[in-house]
Structure formats: structure tokens, C-alpha cells
Amino acid sequence: MLSFQISDSGRKINIDCDAKGMAILLGVLAKLVGARASHVHLWTVGASGGVLNDKTPSGDEAVPEVIINYQEGD
């Protein structure tokens, strides 16, 4: 399970995950490290058959797409 939800009028991002979801997230982040600049899109299963859950554990709608941008600092 891996889901993202925006809360507190956009002031917070909640990430809900289990061991499998954590492994997915860590794997995606690890692939980005070392690239000078890159990004990855994570989608919900409902949006495009991706790896994110459509709902949070509490049954709320989850964010359907998460984009993680990576750029090495100077």
C-alpha cells in the first residue's frame, strides 16, 4: 500500500505505506540518485495501472499522480 493525500488546506502531505509501499518508494528514490537531473511519475492503479493506491487507508481519495523531481545541487 502506498498513497499520498493533501491535507490541512494544502499545507501537509500525508504518505501512507506498508512494507511493500515503502520498498516501492525507496526503490524509486534510489533510481533517481546519481542522475544529474531527472524525475519519475507515480500513478494510482485507477489512473493508469500504477503503483499508488486509489484510496488512503481511511477510505479517502488519494492523490492520483505524484511527480518526484531530482536535481543535484551545486
Q: Rounded CA gap, 46 and 63, in Å?
A: 11
Q: Is the pLDDT of residue 74 over 90?
A: no
**Domain total for the chain?**
1
Question: If you write DSSP's letter for every residue of 24-73 in order, what string do you get?
Answer: HHHHHHHHHTTSSEEEEEEEBHHHHS-SB-SB-TTSPBPPSEEEEEEE--
Residue-level pLDDT at 22: 97
- Residue with the bigger pLDDT between 20 and 33: it is 20
Q: Is the pTM of this model over 0.85?
A: yes
Q: What are the tens digits of pLDDT across the range 26-72?
A: 999 998 987 767 999 999 998 888 999 999 999 999 999 999 999 87
Q: Which domain holds residue 14?
A: 2-71
Residue-level pLDDT at 24: 95
In the beta sheet, which residues pair with residue 2?
A: 17
